[in-house]
A and B are shown apart, each in its own frame.
Chain A
Amino acid sequence: MSAGVGVDLENLWIRFGDFVAVRDANVKINGGDFFSFLGPSGCGKTTILRAVSGFLEPSEGNVLIGGNNMRGIGPNKRPTALIFQNLALFPLMKVWENITFSMEIKGASSAERRKRADELLDMIALPDQGDKLPNELSGGQRQRVAIARALCAEPDVLLLDEPLSALDLKLRQHMRTELREIQKRVGITFIYITHDQGEALTMSDNIAVMRAGVIDQIADGKTIYNDPNTAFAASFVGENNVFRGKVKQIMGNEALIATNRSGDLVARISTTNQGKMKEGDDAMMFVRPEAFAIAPDGASGDHFVTARVNHEEFEGNAFNIFTEGEGGKEIKVSIPNHGQSFDDHTGQNITLEYETHNAVIVPAGELAAE
């Protein structure tokens, strides 16, 4: 994709006094991409967004938009538009004035502005709402007005700072689809900040997973989910079961791990760590809840885990089994529900099976907080 304007972060450091908010970030965002920064609160993702929008000058390194270095260029001169977490609509301006504020600045006539506002209101499916005040609209409608206001400025890059976090679940899911559609329609680069991995996975072309100022991994959603390169990325994105241990043997792209609790297990070494791990290293193996299946009793081997079932729950689309795990943490197993009968295993030992290519090994590291 080369339709839109790309954004590059080069060796970006941002410090506040002694605190390092962003540590040596290098990111290449392709023009026309929907790119997400995903991480827990306080990981520095909003700081990066503020550096791109121009509200903050990086301590070191550069922000390039469309190949142009943005150092010293203020937020009002950058080809970016920012959608704030709280939207920051102007409460005393009518919806149409809000949307076309950027045109007012350029001196457009009121008739032109009205016309453009009506077009944008049609696009966000809010026709005839232009004369209302923002607080007369619902949360989802305000959300769309904020998007229209940002798009009206015809930015090359739209920056979104967790704009869906204030909405309720249903609306949030609906807005995900809508945002993605709008992005495809306008074709400009979207940079999206979120702590919600569901949002990041469903909308993004590419995702940067951030932890404490450091970008752990940049890849598309599938890769991040299936092939995380750090313990943090593995545990932050989606649910995951962790098995700690030491590398016992490297076998090509796979390794045998002597786990603390579940014996020796085999799994695939995550792609970026292949060739870098060696025997004796502390390692973590991750298996997704849905990657487990219940094995026949008595089965054993290097891709079987036996554990006592603590409790079970029925979630509708899946049966969840929680077994005793390591360090007080339970192992979660999800068995898809396709109408089969399901026995209660509570209190029993069961054997779980996984396919080695569905389990991934990374060097031991910090896990995401629950």
Chain B
Amino acid sequence: MPQFLKEFFNRNGTGMGLAILGLVLFWTIGLIILPQLSMLDFSFRPNLPPPEIGGPKDVYTLENYKYLIYGPEGGSQDYNTVDLRVFFRTLVAAVCVTIFNLIICYPIAYYLGQSEGSHIRIFAIMLIIPYWINEILRAFALRIIFGETGVLNTLFLGLGVWDTPFDFIRNDIALYAGLGYAYILLMIFPMYNVIESLDKNQIEAARDLGAPWWRIHWRVVIPYAKPGISSGCTMVFMLSAGALAAPQILGGPSSLWFTQLIYQQFNDNNDWPQGAAYAIVLLVTCILFVLAVMRLFKVNMGDIGK
């Protein structure tokens, strides 16, 4: 038995230790790894009617993945440009949402983390409570704000800033706002946690040595907050890329999100293998992308847990 397991059992007792270990294993293996493995399995099989499953035609194939790249066999185009474009657009958009969120949330997290007083608690509650409202309602609320006859258009038309209603939805502004808003907490709180533990004297020391505010952030606060920043960015990126409700409700008619394609495959086309292949491609790409970015910014895996 490895040392850490021995210590674990010594600390918790055999019965409790086994129970905790069992639950954790059930959680990771039973609820996460096995379903994903079965998705992986699906993705390599042809979409067959139920009687033929397990039959001679049920063999492993790369067809579903090829479809994403080349499109239907005998199709009019060499590549599946429609789906590929949606795929990359989703990734780029998710990156944009992440950066946008980071820019908005960093000052908030810094303020919350470095100020003292009971108003901080009130601010935190004000940030949390909107999340009691479910995602769909929140998305529709944004539609009310951004719609053609919505709050913003009424306001700006009334003020004479523009004379024809601006289509926030077709221009994807509503979508970005919705996605951004959906995950600000996941961005703020990891950063807040780290920044809160930053010794105020460090900031004062930097100031005392002559540093202007931006350099204090660049050299002292941001390096210190890096684990929180990477943790927040990872979550926001993953969740934005995998979001479904916000793109469905707030996206313009011409701007599909890759998750919507996956949803269509599973639900409308009833093609689980194809949906699974799309989902796997999205998942693996996102993971590889995150790992690459972490490498670029020299972030350790352990930091993400902070």
Give A contacts to B, CB under 8 Å.
Answer: 53-55, 74-77, 80-82, 84-86, 88-93, 101-102, 104-106, 149-150, 153
A105-B209 CB under 8 A given contacts A86-B199, A88-B201: yes
Q: List A contacts of B201 (CB < 8 A).
A: 84-86, 88
Mask of B201-225 contacts with A, CB within 8 angstroms, 1/0: 1101111111110010001100110
Name A152's closest neighbour in chain B (CB-CB).
Answer: B209
- B116–chain A nearest beta-carbon distance, Å: 13
* Bound Cα distance from A143 to B207, whole angstroms: 19
A-B contact pairs, 21 of them (CB 8 A): A54-B208, A55-B204, A75-B204, A76-B208, A76-B209, A76-B211, A77-B210, A81-B208, A81-B209, A88-B199, A88-B204, A89-B205, A90-B206, A91-B224, A92-B224, A101-B209, A104-B219, A105-B209, A105-B210, A105-B211, A149-B209
- B188–chain A nearest beta-carbon distance, Å: 22
Which 10 pairs from chain A and chain B are nearest by CB?
A88-B201, A88-B205, A102-B209, A84-B201, A76-B210, A82-B208, A92-B223, A105-B210, A75-B208, A76-B207
Name A83's closest neighbour in chain B (CB-CB).
Answer: B205
Give B contacts to A, CB under 8 Å.
Answer: 199, 201-202, 204-212, 215, 219-220, 223-224
* Bound Cα distance from A61 to B50, whole angstroms: 89
* Bound Cα distance from A106 to B211, whole angstroms: 9
* Bound Cα distance from A77 to B208, whole angstroms: 8
* Interface of B (DSSP majority class): helix
A55, A77, A88, A105: the one contacting B202 at CB < 8 Å is: A88
* Bound Cα distance from A149 to B204, whole angstroms: 14
- A313–chain B nearest beta-carbon distance, Å: 41
When the two chains form their complex, are residues A80 and B208 in contact, meaning their CB atoms are under 8 A apart?
A: yes
* Bound Cα distance from A76 to B213, whole angstroms: 10
Known pairs A82-B204, A88-B204, A92-B224. 15 more at Cβ < 8 A?
Answer: A76-B207, A76-B210, A76-B211, A76-B212, A80-B208, A82-B205, A84-B204, A84-B205, A88-B205, A90-B206, A101-B206, A101-B219, A105-B211, A105-B212, A150-B209
Q: List B contacts of A84 (CB < 8 A).
A: 201, 204-205
When the two chains form their complex, are residues B199 and A53 in contact, meaning their CB atoms are under 8 A apart?
A: no
Q: List A contacts of B223 (CB < 8 A).
A: 92
Name A54's closest neighbour in chain B (CB-CB).
Answer: B208
Q: List A contacts of B210 (CB < 8 A).
A: 76-77, 102, 105-106, 153
* Bound Cα distance from A76 to B211, whole angstroms: 6
* Bound Cα distance from A150 to B208, whole angstroms: 9
Q: List B contacts of A81 (CB < 8 A).
A: 208-209
Q: List B contacts of A74 (CB < 8 A).
A: 207
- B217–chain A nearest beta-carbon distance, Å: 13
B204, B211, B224: the one contacting A101 at CB < 8 Å is: B211
* Bound Cα distance from A84 to B205, whole angstroms: 8
A153-B199 CB under 8 A given contacts A82-B204, A90-B220, A92-B223: no
When the two chains form their complex, are residues A153 and B224 in contact, meaning their CB atoms are under 8 A apart?
A: no
Name B201's closest neighbour in chain A (CB-CB).
Answer: A88
* Bound Cα distance from A93 to B211, whole angstroms: 15
* Bound Cα distance from A192 to B302, whole angstroms: 41
A54, A55, A153: the one contacting B209 at CB < 8 Å is: A153
* Bound Cα distance from A88 to B200, whole angstroms: 9
* Bound Cα distance from A307 to B285, whole angstroms: 89
* Bound Cα distance from A84 to B204, whole angstroms: 9
Q: List B contacts of A149 (CB < 8 A).
A: 209
Q: List A contacts of B207 (CB < 8 A).
A: 55, 74-76
Name A93's closest neighbour in chain B (CB-CB).
Answer: B219
When the two chains form their complex, are residues A90 and B211 in contact, meaning their CB atoms are under 8 A apart?
A: no
When the two chains form their complex, are residues B202 and A90 in contact, meaning their CB atoms are under 8 A apart?
A: yes
Q: List B contacts of A76 (CB < 8 A).
A: 207-212
- B90–chain A nearest beta-carbon distance, Å: 35
Q: List B contacts of A54 (CB < 8 A).
A: 208
* Bound Cα distance from A75 to B205, whole angstroms: 9
A53-B208 CB under 8 A given contacts A88-B201, A90-B202, A92-B224: yes
Name B199's closest neighbour in chain A (CB-CB).
Answer: A88
- A229–chain B nearest beta-carbon distance, Å: 34
* Bound Cα distance from A85 to B199, whole angstroms: 12
Q: List A contacts of B202 (CB < 8 A).
A: 88, 90
